[in-house]
Structure 1
Amino acid sequence: MYSPKIKEEYVVELYRLKLKRGRAMTKLVNEAIREYLEKQKKQEEESNGREELSG
């Protein structure tokens, strides 16, 4: 499976969050990705809705 490289600066920040929140870095990353993808999907749906209204 494809495993993208995470920039070192992000790994350092994730590690700090891990220590602060007491959650695994993978859980933090998965949460951030899920929130990002949900936001993108919502924006896409809103954009498609506007296109349907105008066209």
Structure 2
Amino acid sequence: MKRQHRRSRAAALARDCAVIFGRRAASIWRYFMADGNSLRGVNLMRVENGRIVEAMAT
């Protein structure tokens, strides 16, 4: 599934998807820069009692 992003002069962050599996979660995102370029990233998290107790971003 390809998302359309409206180009503007401002930078923007968009979440592509979030996946939850048990006590772990992953959020895949894309950062659109003001110059029209973009980059993608992933945040990995471990959750206990409804709170993030461990996280890693790439």
Do these two structures clear the TM 0.5 threshold for a shared fold by scoring above it?
A: no
Larger radius of gyration: 1
Greater relative contact order, per chain length (Cα 8 Å cut-off, separation 6+)? 2
More helix by share: 1
Q: TM-score, normalization: structure 2?
A: 0.28
More strand by share: 2
